[in-house]
Amino acid sequence: MREQSPRHLILSLFGLYARADPQWLSVRSLITLMADLDVDAAATRSSVSRLKKRGVLESARVGGQAGYRLSASALAVLREGDARIWARPRAAVADGWLIVVFSVPEAERGKRHELRSLLTRLGFGTATPGVWIAPGTAYDETLAALDRAGLTAYTEHFRGSYLGSGPTEVRVAEWWDLPAIAALYDEFVAGHRPQARRREPDPAAAYAAYLPMLTAWRRLPYLDPGIPLEFLPASWPGVEAGTLFADLDARLREPAAKHAGAVIGRAVGT
């Protein structure tokens, strides 16, 4: 199982435990919770600094204590991601396809990179250069992301069926790198299946298992944006991986939150 960056772990931590009032974590609680994941204080502070520069975290004080909170834009991204991460929506054939094309003036060519990066992050495949495709169910999320980034005016959207030559499943294998996605699903299962066989963990152990597991899972529903199973290879490993995630989430989430809540409570003196 590949090593996870402190930055990704911090984002998972804030997404889980800093979205209810006061939507904030103290420096003390953050360092303690990251230490529970074997990340030292120096690495935590360095990663927080990078996240602040990227506009993901903001400095904030609550009750006289220094800490951090998610920016408004980061909160919006996390809210939109909740459905993908926990509901694991998968489109049906009848949902059709969403096509996004964009045109950017040469004077604003930097916007092309922004658009490509955003559509890639949302899990779009590439039908041809400049023509991006996703399941039809992705429209609302895509429009919200484009609006937030100020890129909607450069795009046009279409929804419909594929009417080209050749089976759709063959084209899907060209639009997305399915072997790479399948390998990541297999890696997730291999790395986290042993946790499903262990006895019920205490809160600290549940937290140490849950945060890395959730962090590993978070990107997978974006790489596979819910492509209908009919167009994917037989025995698609995303099904087994999704079931394993749901089982571990149900088993570990509450005891992990109990541990995190105790640490956060001690840090603020409650």
Asked if residue 186 and residue 125 are part of one domain, the reply reads no
Residue 29 resides in a domain: no
Residues 23 and 28: their CA atoms lie apart, in Å, by 15
Choosing from 160, 190, 209, the residue where a domain stops is 160
Q: Give the pLDDT score at 256.
A: 96
Structural domain total, the chain: 2
Is residue 246 domain-resident? Answer: yes
Same domain membership, residue 197 and residue 137: no
Residue 121's domain spans which residues? 97-160
In a domain, 14, yes or no: no
| pLDDT per residue as tens digits for the range 209-251 | 999 999 999 999 889 999 999 999 999 999 999 999 999 999 9
Q: Which two tokens stand for residue 20?
A: 């209810």
Same domain, 182 and 249: yes
Contact between 97 and 227 under an 8 Å Cβ cutoff? The reply is no
Same domain, 184 and 233: yes
* Residue 15 belongs to a domain: no
User: What is the average pLDDT score of the chain?
Assistant: 91
Single pTM value for the model: 0.89
Give pLDDT tens digits for 246-269.
Answer: 999 999 999 999 999 999 986 555
Give a yes or no: residue 169 inside a domain: no
- Clarify whether residues 145 and 208 are in a common domain: no
Is residue 201 within 8 A of residue 252, CB to CB? The reply is yes
